[in-house]
Amino acid sequence: MVKPGTGELVVHDGSTESRWANPAFESGGGGLVSTVELMTSDQLTQKQKEQAHIFFEDHSGWGLGMGVNIRRNSLWSTPGRFGWDGGVGTSGYTDPAENMVGILMTQRMMQSPEPPRVFSDFWTTAYQALSN
């Protein structure tokens, strides 16, 4: 993350003191009963979307555990695409229509709900490569 006013990069979640250093893993059968369709399709109500408009706007929703694109608002935001942009610099999506999976891992913490430029550059390049 960037230290305000200095531009200096600082560690946000160090490896030894991180809450993730010694995770307790739950059972893989932890009680969720679902289908791929429910997990990868929009499960939010209109009211929920309105309350979190900054994240979903009018082109995204939320399945059971991941973001879902419901309308195109960019080259890479195809309806049916699902995945997640992580606040500490990761982006991973599956696009069934294009038979594609993309994963981006950076070490740049997001500073706002708007993904950093490296995300849009990565996805633009990946989707442009499909037509070549």
Q: Is residue 16 part of a domain?
A: no
Domain count along the chain: 1
3-class DSSP assignment, residue 30: coil
130 phi and psi, to 5 degrees? -65, -30
Count the helices and strands in the chain (H runs, E runs). Answer: 4, 5
Of 46, 53, 83, which Cα lies nearest the Cα of 68?
Answer: 83
Q: Is residue 26 part of a domain?
A: no
Q: Is residue 9 part of a domain?
A: no
Q: Is residue 106 part of a domain?
A: yes
- Write the CA distances from 64 to 43, 55, 99, 105, 132, integer angstroms: 7, 16, 21, 23, 34
Give every residue of the chain whose pLDDT is below 50, as ranges. Answer: none
Cβ atoms of residues 82 and 67 within 8 Å:
yes
Q: What is residue 38's predicted lDDT score, i.e. its pLDDT?
A: 84
Rounded Cα–Cα distance for residues 103 and 105 (Å): 7
Q: Does the global pTM surpass 0.85?
A: no
pLDDT tens-digit series, residues 89-106: 899 999 999 999 999 999
Q: Is residue 19 part of a domain?
A: no
Structural domain that includes position 108: 36-130
- Residue 94 carries which side chain, given as an amino acid letter? T
Q: What is residue 42's predicted lDDT score, i.e. its pLDDT?
A: 92
3-class DSSP assignment, residue 56: helix
Q: What is residue 131's predicted lDDT score, i.e. its pLDDT?
A: 73
- Residue 40 carries which side chain, given as an amino acid letter? T
Q: Is residue 54 part of a domain?
A: yes
